[in-house]
Structure 1
């Protein structure tokens, strides 16, 4: 019975709430593990779920044979809460057994941004006239110019570039939940995109079927998120930055550098597509820390 309700819930979040296949797959992993724990406790129907079952499952995730990080436990509990809330809304539960189960306290994790010099070195590492290098340059310039997530960038179609005379003055991005936002594109990114669209993309598209995708792989199909991440990592290795990159490195750098340059936090929130300004304010902590360090180093009476 719970297995059947799980499938109904996953269809609900995929179709009615527009969650991405990656998110739905994560829900499935978390909830399948939860149902195994519930079955071991004798709960195979919704009405048998209790706060104790949810609490015990969270404890096993933290303290079992393969202990999980607090962030993973918090994500699993979030998945469970979504499922049990759905069961309540469907009339299969009268009270929500997960609502009062506390999530583990997460340490404050500040995003790691590259310096402006490191970004310039990373972008320079994509220089070249080969089609792949022109694509890589356009991809990285776009990520830094717009703060787009890697998944948002690879989901772009050519028609999402908006401007007069073929110039991409702004770009249409689709964020979490399919929420659309329009973001300006700077001159460096525009030039890189123009070079890629004119000199590289037609050659790449000739190797595959016609596709509206903006960024293509060597076989002419839409570039995957995994390959985009490999492109970023390879550029980082060539640039010899000496720091660990993440798929969000350009996004974090975009936000941090805007705030350091005096941009309003709510403008940055809109550009990043954050639902809450509180999420964007993490970056103000980063810039405040940088200012404090600079002050402590430079001022004769700071120490």
Structure 2
């Protein structure tokens, strides 16, 4: 097919294709309960897909053949359809979205067959999760509390909670005061360790993860102390700038703190702590998991704490701890060298 001119407009997406996508997205939102950000990613991937099909002259989902899907997968990696060249991980996500669409249409009887059945997402290179050491985490947390006023109290509580629970940044900024009120009350009323034990008072935090799935994670003394200091001496001052609301972490204008603002807090603390490389919210999540495994935690326990649907996802962290195992082996086994 001849290349279109620079000013040529892409053909409009036929209603049958657009309607199929909207039906599927509605299913994902209502019946599967996918998070808003995930739905947005699916919408973008599928919009590019149906635009590709329209450019091939297809009028509806029943016109799609396996060859069309194979060509689309190639276009994702080359930009032949006029779109951006995607990385292996982004191509995989896009192909998964397309396969989900066709599987749904076939199962609902909206198409006669599933042309994507034999199409597999591209393999992406295995990358180890990034983690920083325990000492570096300490420097990062200390750097978050530099200065006076409610901001440093909030920033320290935010980072202590991220590292102390292994939560995603979206889960933390979605917390309300009521989500931690009982947790902190447990700590205040218990005060000292329980009789006969050196263990700190226990507290459990409820997080809402992907797909609105809830999980309960324990929170240690350091994170609880930072949260209580913020609630008593920091949040009230920030709340005066807004109209009031349930959010736990507030921005400078008194509204719920955004993910972008939370990321900026972490980035600034990383620079003050002089940590090499980029430190992201997921860095603390990866560090949380890695340090637990290095301390002897069972991988399935870490899976539950992280909220992973499959233990396979969590097992990637065990590859990180293999370096530590090799160091111990080399230093202690008489026949290691």
Runs of 4+ in 1 over 6 A off after TM superposition: 297-300
1:84 aligned onto 2:136: no
The residue number in structure 2 matching 1:288 is 322
1:163 aligned onto 2:163: no
Give the Cα separation in 2 of the matches to 1:109 and 1:238.
28
Deviation at 1:73, TM superposition (A): 0.7
1:176 aligned onto 2:210: yes
1:147 aligned onto 2:166: yes
- Number of residues paired by the alignment? 303
Asked if the contact 2:144–2:266 (Cα under 8 Å) also holds between the matched residues in 1, the reply is no
The residue number in structure 2 matching 1:6 is 21
Give the Cα separation in 1 of the matches to 2:252 and 2:185.
28
1:236 aligned onto 2:236: no
Question: Could you say what secondary structure the match of 1:181 adopts?
Answer: strand
Give the Cα separation in 1 of the matches to 2:265 and 2:59.
46
Aligned positions of 1:1-303 closer than 5 A: 1-64=16-79, 66-127=84-145, 128-161=147-180, 162-163=182-183, 165=185, 167=187, 169-296=203-330, 302-303=336-337
> What TM-score, normalized by structure 1, do the two folds share?
0.95
Give the Cα separation in 2 of the matches to 1:98 and 1:290.
43
Give the Cα separation in 2 of the matches to 1:284 and 1:236.
25
Question: Could you say what secondary structure the match of 2:225 adopts?
Answer: helix
> What TM-score, normalized by structure 2, do the two folds share?
0.86
- Stretch of structure 1 that moved more, 31-40 or 90-99: 90-99
Asked if the contact 2:88–2:124 (Cα under 8 Å) also holds between the matched residues in 1, the reply is yes
Give the Cα separation in 2 of the matches to 1:44 and 1:71.
29
Question: Could you say what secondary structure the match of 1:183 adopts?
Answer: strand
Deviation at 1:298, TM superposition (A): 7.0
- Stretch of structure 1 that moved more, 82-91 or 178-187: 82-91
Summarize deviations over 1:78-105 as a string: whole Å, max 9, x none: 1111111221122121221112112111
Summarize deviations over 1:212-258 as a string: whole Å, max 9, x none: 11111111111111111111111101100113212201100001101
Structure of larger gyration radius: 2
Distance 1:217 1:4, change over 3 A: same
Deviation at 1:289, TM superposition (A): 2.4
Q: Please give the root-mean-square deviation of Cα atoms over the aligned residues, in Å.
A: 1.7
Q: Which stretches in structure 2 are left out of the alignment for 5+ residues?
A: 1-15, 188-201
Give the Cα separation in 2 of the matches to 1:156 and 1:17.
22
- Stretch of structure 1 that moved more, 143-152 or 124-133: 124-133
Summarize deviations over 1:11-31 as a string: whole Å, max 9, x none: 221222111111111011100
